[in-house]
Structure 1
């Protein structure tokens, strides 16, 4: 198969979908790999390193899309890429369709095969291609939140861990999944008082067992959330419903109950956000203020640490990408239930229920396209 890796062009996105080591694996399996010039530079990989591994460097993004049968990316295509996508071309990347109606319609119109990292799902309901970036984003949420709690950044002027004789900050984490767990661990490690909330009692029991003493677990419901936000200095939104829009756990009217200078970090913003007032921002302009509350809503947080993120992501995606290349997407998805669940859009049809429900568009059962 012919594999194409374009350079990411989303604002401040420095990750790349394939490392030189990944190129070597594709070549070992008999595939051809084309990389757009300087695609890996932001992550520390030179064109020479890709060529040494066996890739061919192409000068433009247009050339990559034109020649490739499978496009491997990190982030969803943006508007300038839509016209480059060909019918029946396989795109393997993060899509987050439930947060973008424009992208959904564009991919339906292009009749591409859209296999989304974020909905590839194991039998135990875990999301293997979301986990590495969730780990990075959860840890970064505390790093960024601590920074924006500083007074010059608009925050309350609080040091997360406090000092002798001064209480540490109160951190509220909404969601006990991968993001929430990593955020709670980081905040606790810095000495903050942490509360983590989830709707799953078994998950809370697990977190109670593994978290340090400065982390409290609380059942998530509207009453408890409303009470907890009154005390919080930093709030992390870490709620995910695979392939669907995140629910709004914090609504606009709740902002009035927060202390001025409280910082909100909505890690779920690329799935619509779990904080109603959050809209996607960029690393260039990461925050905005509503009712004296600082909102940090960068939709590609791991893009700020591209070396770590690229290696973590490609460690997870490469085995699946090799399967797709070796067998073709249809056979690979028939034989691998995990990959099958990654299919979101196929030849102009939505085959993932969460996406059809998000935009009230017709749903086609996956069995109809994999007959």
Structure 2
């Protein structure tokens, strides 16, 4: 199969779809790999690294798409890429369709096969291709939140870990999944007081067992959220509904109940956000302020640490890329029902129910 690795063109996205090590494995399996010039540069991988393992370097993104049967990316295609995607393409990347009607319509129009990293499942229901980026984003949420709590950038002026004689800052984490647990772990490591909320009692019991005593669990409800936002300094939104739009757990009116300079880091923004006032931002302009509350809503947080992120992503995507390349997408998905759950749009039709529901489209079309 001919596999293309284009350069990511989303704002400040420095990751690349495949490391040279991953390309080596594909070529070893008798596939042809086209890599766009400088595609890996932002992640610390150079054209010569890809040439050394047998890849062909192409100058433009148009050449990569034209030459390839399967496109392996990191982030969803943006408007400039829509015309490049054709009916013969298999596109394997993060899509997050439920948060973008324009992207969904464009991929339906292309009639390509769109397989989303974020909906591929393991037998136990976990999301193996989303997990490593959720781990990165969860840890970064505290790193960024701690920075934006500083007064020069309009935060409350709170040091999360406190100092002797001064209480530590308070962190509220919404969601006890991968993002939430990693955020809680990082915040606890800094010495902050952490409250983590979820509606899954089994997950809360797990958190209670593995976290230190200054991480407390609480059942998630509107009443409890309203109570906690009044005195917590940093709020991390880490709620995920597989393939669907994230629920708004914090509404616009709740911002007035927060103290000025409170920071919200909405990691769920690429699925629409779990805060009503969230809107996607970029690494260039990561924050905005509403009602004196600082919002950090960068939709590709792991793109800020591309070397770590690209290695972590290739570790988990490569086996699936090999399967798709070796068997073709139809046979690969027939043989692997967990991979088949990654199918979102196929030949002009939505095949993942939550996407249709996100736009109130007829489920009959699924």
Which residue of structure 1 lines up, in the alignment, with residue 273 of structure 2?
A: 273
Which residue of structure 1 lines up, in the alignment, with residue 13 of structure 2?
A: 13
Distance in 1, matches of 2:300 and 2:286, equals 10
Q: Confirm or deny that 1:109 pairs with 2:122.
A: no
1:181-213: per-residue Cα shift (whole Å, max 9, x none)?
000000000000000000011111110000011
Distance in 2, matches of 1:359 and 1:114, equals 18
Contact kept, 8 Å, 1:349 with 1:364, in 2: the verdict is no
1:93-116: per-residue Cα shift (whole Å, max 9, x none)?
000000000000000001010000
1:300-320: per-residue Cα shift (whole Å, max 9, x none)?
000000000000001000000
Which residue of structure 2 lines up, in the alignment, with residue 257 of structure 1?
A: 257
Which residue of structure 2 lines up, in the alignment, with residue 243 of structure 1?
A: 243
1:361 CA displacement: 2.6
Name the SS for the 1:8 alignment partner: coil
1:365 CA displacement: 8.2
1:38-97: per-residue Cα shift (whole Å, max 9, x none)?
000000000000000110000000000001000000000000000001113100000000
Distance in 2, matches of 1:99 and 1:191, equals 35
1:364 CA displacement: 6.3
Distance in 1, matches of 2:260 and 2:344, equals 41
State how 1:206-225 maps to structure 2 within 5 Å: 206-225=206-225
Q: Confirm or deny that 1:163 pairs with 2:198.
A: no
State how 1:137-156 maps to structure 2 within 5 Å: 137-156=137-156
Distance in 1, matches of 2:226 and 2:232, equals 11
Contact kept, 8 Å, 2:349 with 2:365, in 1: the verdict is no
1:250-276: per-residue Cα shift (whole Å, max 9, x none)?
000000100000000000000000000
Distance in 1, matches of 2:23 and 2:361, equals 38
Q: Confirm or deny that 1:290 pairs with 2:290.
A: yes
Contact kept, 8 Å, 1:349 with 1:363, in 2: the verdict is no
Consecutive aligned runs of 4 or more in structure 1 exceeding 6 Å deviation: none
Which residue of structure 2 lines up, in the alignment, with residue 66 of structure 1?
A: 66
Distance in 1, matches of 2:307 and 2:228, equals 36
Query: Structure 1 unaligned runs (5+)?
Result: 367-371
Contact kept, 8 Å, 1:351 with 1:363, in 2: the verdict is no
Which residue of structure 1 lines up, in the alignment, with residue 361 of structure 2?
A: 361
1:156-201: per-residue Cα shift (whole Å, max 9, x none)?
0000100000011000000000000000000000000000000011
Which residue of structure 2 lines up, in the alignment, with residue 323 of structure 1?
A: 323
What do you get for the CA RMSD once the two structures are aligned? 0.9
Contact kept, 8 Å, 2:175 with 2:237, in 1: the verdict is yes
Name the SS for the 2:84 alignment partner: coil
TM-score by length of 1: 0.98
Contact kept, 8 Å, 1:350 with 1:364, in 2: the verdict is no
Query: Structure 2 unaligned runs (5+)?
Result: none
Distance in 2, matches of 1:137 and 1:18, equals 19
Distance in 1, matches of 2:24 and 2:338, equals 24
Distance in 2, matches of 1:184 and 1:17, equals 29
Distance in 1, matches of 2:314 and 2:23, equals 11
Name the SS for the 2:147 alignment partner: helix
Which residue of structure 1 lines up, in the alignment, with residue 347 of structure 2?
A: 347
Q: Confirm or deny that 1:99 pairs with 2:104.
A: no
CA gap 1:357/1:217 in 2 versus in 1, 3 angstroms: same
Give the number of aligned pairs: 366
Which residue of structure 2 lines up, in the alignment, with residue 75 of structure 1?
A: 75
Contact kept, 8 Å, 2:4 with 2:65, in 1: the verdict is yes
Which residue of structure 2 lines up, in the alignment, with residue 369 of structure 1?
A: none
TM-score by length of 2: 0.99
Name the SS for the 2:162 alignment partner: coil
